[in-house]
């Protein structure tokens, strides 16, 4: 196993140590100081790949896992995965440093927090570095499970449990859809490797599974990255502690869907279906998130909807940039590839300014006791450092200079204007909508950024509405957001350093056919003259400022939108309706009567097994292969039939139980005739014990059955009984008449030579299947221990 594989597994291994470290050192040392070493080490290790990847090289390492199924733990590093790996580990280190000061080591269950966050970190690293789609899926679902645990960290709060449940239901649904799409892709290409799938693009595009696989994979990406209409889980996930929100919902988990779209763009890109699905979902999400962010009164809710909006922006850019694959290596391709470069650039920028903003909002909540904008105001004099960090993050998100968000926002405007002039994919008629929607969404983005800054830090200070006296936090809590805010400014002044070493290799990974050529010559600049993009920005600032100043006059229009038409209302109704249907269905079959349960079980057996035998024409019986039936066997069979009828027709439970035991003894006599004395002895012991137990259980019951002493005739019982008997008999006869392979019994006939045992049955149980037998005994021991404990605790409870 390579160092790269170990790097991915380190967070999982360290998660096992966290409970012991917590127990040994708390409360003397905060557990986070130990955990901080993990992402810091990974980040420093990944930095060594930057010079290699910037030269256009890639690294792929295989480790066999299930080679017979074609599933190997293959890791792959290119420009795209390296960017995500650096974000996961770098921002992870900053978040853990922030959490050391944010989470109290006296009041919080820190061992749980750091175990969950390490599990999530390892799962995200596994997603972005996996080349095998099945391994990628395993890590993908681990991100859903670990994020569920993180969101529900304060599980004693109802809203935390609700948000965790919502996020898990939606993302797990998307994950299952994605799995189906990945399986379809593997069926088309006969491989699980993403690299090998990319080499078979023509085959994939011509296959009947192309559209279903694309659609299902996009469902997985859209649910994870909170694209409309799956975006409803993200605002409720903000009930988690701020370090979790800063990590999961700004830089990592919500970017997993973005990564998936980027990674599979070489497979599906260049087609109208991929272009429209990804672009439309992104542009609608951008508008939806920005409009809803303006009406929020909770700072984290505002950031949640702003995150939805920014994720939509990035998603739309990947969709627009995929058109470059349609044009191939022509001159037009570089014009549309700008969108892909902008997408990756804004992905990094968003992680820096949004991570900083989440942390600052956490600081405001931590030091004032509230996130309610209506209770805040006038904090600029009391929290000047926090104000500065908020100003940098918010203005960057608004797309203002001198911050990195301005650069990627200008590139976004360039991409949508280029798309509006596109002559393919029906953009001649619909293309004008793209820059219009993008501009409107940018106006609302500007408004909520101004709300975040001015409503929080300017105006009148309201100490009577705060739970605490506002003040700056400890310096340690400011380090992480300050580092991210510094990157916001540094990237603005030195964007091409980032572009040359990380952005262009990532674009080459997303658009492999354009890895060479004019795309490499694209330079990021803050000034391009007086062009359309600049005038769009000026329009955003002017109209946004007017709308912000007049916010009170028009914000009331949000109240006119009916609550019954919101996505949350549909989700809650669907959940409640589903629970009602499930409860009604469960009440129908969970009646409390064993007879009903047996009817369901045996009825299912008859339908499935019998139906399969009929539909597959598998019923076969050749009496020529059977041995002759002896007089003893006929006598035993007739006796068994008579005893069975006695059980059914008996008026006394005692008689029925004795007859049932007699039937078991007759079966043991058949074993004697067939020369299996060990089975006969086992059967005799089992029948003796069960008969005694039956008699003990029924001792206190009435002597006769209800009514006139006879069991009432029920036609359904007859149908089920005859049906089960017929199906089992036909199945047994057909199994003997449809032998596709040589029977394995011949192998066990040499038990003496193979295992030194003369008894074949004992040899099978003890030697050939010894581990199975041991596990069965182990299960029985656990069950016996469970019964013993239940009885013991019940007796103690009574005392």
Residue 513's pLDDT band, with cuts at 50, 70 and 90, is confident
Q: Which is higher by pLDDT, 706 or 661?
A: 661
| Cβ neighbours, 10 Å, residue 225 | 30
Please state, in angstroms and rounded to a whole number, the distance separating the CA atoms of residues 631 and 637: 10
Cβ-contact 390, 360 below 8 angstroms: yes
601 plus 534 within the same structural domain: no
pLDDT at 520 over 60: no
Q: Last residue of a domain, which of 704, 725, 740? A: 740
- Nearby residues of 683 by Cβ (< 8 Å), 6 or more positions away: 664, 665, 667, 668, 671
pLDDT in tens, 305-314: 999 999 999 9
Residue 767 domain-assigned (yes or no)? no
Per the structure, the count of domains in the chain is 2
| pLDDT value of position 468 | 85
Please state, in angstroms and rounded to a whole number, the distance separating the CA atoms of residues 98 and 474: 11
pLDDT at 666 over 70: yes
479 plus 615 within the same structural domain: no
CATH number at residue 606: 1.20.120
pLDDT in tens, 565-604: 888 888 888 888 888 888 888 888 888 888 888 889 999 9
Q: Last residue of a domain, which of 515, 549, 583? A: 549
425 plus 311 within the same structural domain: yes
406 plus 485 within the same structural domain: yes
Residue 438 domain-assigned (yes or no)? yes
Cβ-contact 173, 220 below 8 angstroms: no
Tokens coding 639: 């006796």
Please state, in angstroms and rounded to a whole number, the distance separating the CA atoms of residues 324 and 340: 9
176 plus 235 within the same structural domain: yes
Residue 359 domain-assigned (yes or no)? yes
pLDDT in tens, 444-477: 999 999 999 999 999 888 888 888 888 899 899 9
Residue 49 domain-assigned (yes or no)? no
CA 538, 391, 101: angle at the middle one, nearest 5? 155
Q: Which is higher by pLDDT, 770 or 702?
A: 770
306 plus 178 within the same structural domain: yes
pLDDT in tens, 702-753: 655 554 555 566 788 888 988 999 999 888 888 877 777 777 777 777 777 7
Cβ-contact 118, 14 below 8 angstroms: yes
Residue 769 domain-assigned (yes or no)? no
| pLDDT value of position 705 | 52
Residue 797 domain-assigned (yes or no)? no
| pLDDT value of position 519 | 47
Q: Last residue of a domain, which of 489, 519, 549? A: 549
Residue 503 domain-assigned (yes or no)? yes
Cβ-contact 489, 402 below 8 angstroms: yes
Please state, in angstroms and rounded to a whole number, the distance separating the CA atoms of residues 255 and 271: 23
285 plus 336 within the same structural domain: yes
Residue 764's pLDDT band, with cuts at 50, 70 and 90, is confident
Residue 267's pLDDT band, with cuts at 50, 70 and 90, is very high
Render the burial of 56-95: b for 16+ CB within 10 Å, e for the rest.
eebbebbeeeeeeeebbbbbbbbbbbbbbbbbbbbbbbbb
541 plus 633 within the same structural domain: no
540 plus 598 within the same structural domain: no
The segment with the largest mean pLDDT, out of 198-207, 281-290, 678-687, is 281-290
Tokens coding 550: 């007049």
337 plus 415 within the same structural domain: yes
Question: Among residues of the chain, what percentage have pLDDT more than 90?
Answer: 49
The segment with the largest mean pLDDT, out of 72-86, 95-109, 515-529, is 72-86
| pLDDT value of position 797 | 55
Residue whose C-alpha is closest to residue 75's, from 119, 40, 126, 140: 126
493 plus 627 within the same structural domain: no
| pLDDT value of position 518 | 45
Instruction: Name residue, tokens 């909002």.
Output: 361
Residue 715 domain-assigned (yes or no)? yes
414 plus 535 within the same structural domain: yes
Helices (H), 556-676: 567-589, 594-605, 611-615, 631-649, 653-673
What's the domain range around 664? 591-740
């Amino acid at each position: 196993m390579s160092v790269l594989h170990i790097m991915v597994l380190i967070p999982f291994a360290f998660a096992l140590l966290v409970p012991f470290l917590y127990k040994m050192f708390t409360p003397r040392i905060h557990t986070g100081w130990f955990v901080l070493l993990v992402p810091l080490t990974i980040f420093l290790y990944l930095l060594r790949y930057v010079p290699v990847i910037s030269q256009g090289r890639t690294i792929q390492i295989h480790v066999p896992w299930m080679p017979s199924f074609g599933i190997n733990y293959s890791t792959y590093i290119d420009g795209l995965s390296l960017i995500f790996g650096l974000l996961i580990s770098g921002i992870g280190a900053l978040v853990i440093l922030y959490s050391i000061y944010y989470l109290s080591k006296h009041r919080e269950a820190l061992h749980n927090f750091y175990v969950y966050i390490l599990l999530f970190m390892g799962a995200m690293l596994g997603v972005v570095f996996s080349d095998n789609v099945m391994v990628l899926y395993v890590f993908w679902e681990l991100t859903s499970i670990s994020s569920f645990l993180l969101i529900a960290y304060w599980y004693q709060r109802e809203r935390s449990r609700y948000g965790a449940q919502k996020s898990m239901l939606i993302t797990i649904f998307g994950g299952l859809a994605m799995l189906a799409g990945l399986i379809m892709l593997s069926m088309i290409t006969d491989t699980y490797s993403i690299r090998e799938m990319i080499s078979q693009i023509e085959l994939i595009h011509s296959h009947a599974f192309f559209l279903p696989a694309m659609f299902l994979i996009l469902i997985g990406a859209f649910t994870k990255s909170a694209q409309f209409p799956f975006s409803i889980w993200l605002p409720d996930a903000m009930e988690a502690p701020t370090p979790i929100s800063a990590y999961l919902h700004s830089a990592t988990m919500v970017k997993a869907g973005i990564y998936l779209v980027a990674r599979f763009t070489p497979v599906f890109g260049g087609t109208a279906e991929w272009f429209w699905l990804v672009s439309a979902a992104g542009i609608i999400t951008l508008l939806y998130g920005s409009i809803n962010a303006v009406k929020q009164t909770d700072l984290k809710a505002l950031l949640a909807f702003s995150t939805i909006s920014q994720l939509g922006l990035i998603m739309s850019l990947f969709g627009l940039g995929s058109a470059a694959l349609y044009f191939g290596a022509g001159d037009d391709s570089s014009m549309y590839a700008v969108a892909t470069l902008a997408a990756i650039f804004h992905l990094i920028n968003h992680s820096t300014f949004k991570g900083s903003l989440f942390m600052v909002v956490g600081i405001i909540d931590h030091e004032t006791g509230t996130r309610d904008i209506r209770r805040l105001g006038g904090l600029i004099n009391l929290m000047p450092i926090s104000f500065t960090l908020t100003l940098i993050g918010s203005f960057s998100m608004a797309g203002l200079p001198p911050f990195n968000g301005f650069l990627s926002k200008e590139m976004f405007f360039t991409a949508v204007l280029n798309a509006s002039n596109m002559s393919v994919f029906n953009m001649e008629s619909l293309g004008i909508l793209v820059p219009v929607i993008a501009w409107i969404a940018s106006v609302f983005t500007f408004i909520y950024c101004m709300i975040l800054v001015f409503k929080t830090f300017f105006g009148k200070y309201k100490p009577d509405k705060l739970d605490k006296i506002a003040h700056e936090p400890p310096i340690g809590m400011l380090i992480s957001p300050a580092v991210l805010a510094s990157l916001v400014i540094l990237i603005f002044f030195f964007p091409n350093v980032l572009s040359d070493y990380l952005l262009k290799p990532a674009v080459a990974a997303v658009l492999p056919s354009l890895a060479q050529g004019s795309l490499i010559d694209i330079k990021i600049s803050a000034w391009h003259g007086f062009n359309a993009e600049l005038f769009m920005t000026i329009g955003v600032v002017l109209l946004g400022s007017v709308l912000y100043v007049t916010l009170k006059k028009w914000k009331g229009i949000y109240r006119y939108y009916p609550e019954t038409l919101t996505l949350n209302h549909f989700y809650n109704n669907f959940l409640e309706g589903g629970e009602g249907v499930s409860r009604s269905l469960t009440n129908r079959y969970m009646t409390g009567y064993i007879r009903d349960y047996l009817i369901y079980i045996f009825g299912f057996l008859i339908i499935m097994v019998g139906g399969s035998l009929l539909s597959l024409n598998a019923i076969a019986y050749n009496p020529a292969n059977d041995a002759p039936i002896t007089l003893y066997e006929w006598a035993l069979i007739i006796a068994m039939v008579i005893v069975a009828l006695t059980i059914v027709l008996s008026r006394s439970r005692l008689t029925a139980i004795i007859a049932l035991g007699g039937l078991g003894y007759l079966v043991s006599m058949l074993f004697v005739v067939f020369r299996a004395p060990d089975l006969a002895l086992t059967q005799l012991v089992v029948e003796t014990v069960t008969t005694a137990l039956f008699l003990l259980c029924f001792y206190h019951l009435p002597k006769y059955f209800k009514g006139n002493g006879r069991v009432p005739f029920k036609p359904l019982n007859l149908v089920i009984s005859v049906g089960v008997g017929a199906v089992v008999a036909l199945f047994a006869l057909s199994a003997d008449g449809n032998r596709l392979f040589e029977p394995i019994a011949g192998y066990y006939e040499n038990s003496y030579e193979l295992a030194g045992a003369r008894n074949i049955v004992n040899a099978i149980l003890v030697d050939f299947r010894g581990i199975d037998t041991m596990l069965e005994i182990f299960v029985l021991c656990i069950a016996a221990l469970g019964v013993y404990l239940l009885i013991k605790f019940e007796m103690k409870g009574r005392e």
